[in-house]
Amino acid sequence: MLTIPRELYDQIVAHARADHPDEACGVLAGPAGSDHPARFIAMTNAERSPTFYRFDSAEQFRVWQQMDDNDEEPVVIYHSHTATQAYPSRTDVTYASEPNAHYVLVSTRDEDETEFRSFRIAGGEVSEEPVTVVE
Amino acid sequence: MAIEVRIPTILRTYTDGAKQVEGSGSTLGELITDLEKRHGGLQDRLIDNGNLRRFVNVYLNDEDVRFLAGLETPVKDGDTVTVLPAVAGGAVTG
């Protein structure tokens, strides 16, 4: 299960809406081993594409270094789908590289309603998990 | 002195869980060949057909080696090499 503070949830949705129709992506960092997302980090989609995302490699290095210095880890890795459902595509499964992270998918295909779902992706297997938003 | 190599979580199965290992060589390619001797299987996760895999980022100190000379990038004792899997995906199928 993913437990996420309301503020971070809203920041993800706002980022996804702002970058629509391109895919938005980013990280929620949290203390290592805590499973608690605590810090919102919007990342640059180096692809600037409506169908693909990739973290900018220099930015990723800096952010990962910073997390390491703070004894944090990427608790959540999020990205948006802008014309399809909030479910991991084959591409998402192929490139999933953080077996301990919650993969959050947001769909902005509907103008008014944002789908927000969370998954574990490890060893090519996808399993959806419930999302609890805490105030 | 040696070259320090930082290993991401997903590749630590090849390093007995170690976050950091050491190796030697005069280029990144040689360093990876050296690491393979003690951490069998690692090379294949980094290199495909003689090139760095597209979805693996390798940094020499703080520079992406793609912007240096890739596997030919010179390395020396005291350098730090960091491996990070690219974070990528998207709605496109294929």
Residues 63-92 of B with CB under 8 A from A: 64, 66, 82, 84-92
With an 8 Å Cβ cutoff, is B55 touching chain A? yes
Number of other CB atoms surrounding residue B75 within 10 Å: 23
**Predicted local distance difference test score (pLDDT) of residue B51:** 94
pLDDT confidence bin for B94, thresholds 50/70/90:
very low
Q: Which of A27, A62, A89 sits opposite B90 (nearest CB)?
A: A89
Name every residue in A having a CB less than 8 A away from some CB of B. Answer: 23, 25, 27, 43, 47, 49-55, 57-58, 60-62, 64-65, 77, 79, 81-84, 88-92, 94-100
Q: Which amino acid is at A26?
A: G
Which tokens in the block code for residue B24?
Answer: 């030697």
Residues 3-22 of B with CB under 8 A from A: 8-10
Chain A residues touching residue B88 (CB < 8 angstroms): 52-55, 91, 95
pLDDT confidence bin for B77, thresholds 50/70/90:
very high
- Is the pLDDT assigned to residue B93 strictly greater than 90? no
* B87 contacts A95? CB cut-off 8 A: yes
DSSP per-residue letters across B21-87 = EEE--SBHHHHHHHHHHHSTTHHHHHEETTEE-TTEEEEETTEEGGGTTGGG-B--TT-EEEEEE--
Superfamily (CATH) of domain B3-85: Beta-grasp domain (3.10.20.30)
ipTM score for this prediction: 0.90
* B55 contacts A97? CB cut-off 8 A: yes
Which tokens in the block code for residue B58?
Answer: 């390798």
User: Consecutive 10-residue runs of chain A (135 residues): their mean pLDDT?
Assistant: 98 97 97 96 95 96 94 96 95 90 97 96 94 96
Q: Which amino acid is at A23?
A: E
Task: Give the strands of the sheet with B63-64, arranged side by side.
Answer: B20-23, B3-6, B80-85, B56-60, B63-64
Q: Which amino acid is at A35?
A: D
**Predicted local distance difference test score (pLDDT) of residue B9:** 87
**Predicted local distance difference test score (pLDDT) of residue A49:** 94
> What SS3 class is residue B11?
helix
Chain B residues touching residue A81 (CB < 8 angstroms): 90-91
- Is the pLDDT assigned to residue B65 strictly greater than 60? yes
Class of domain A1-78: alpha beta
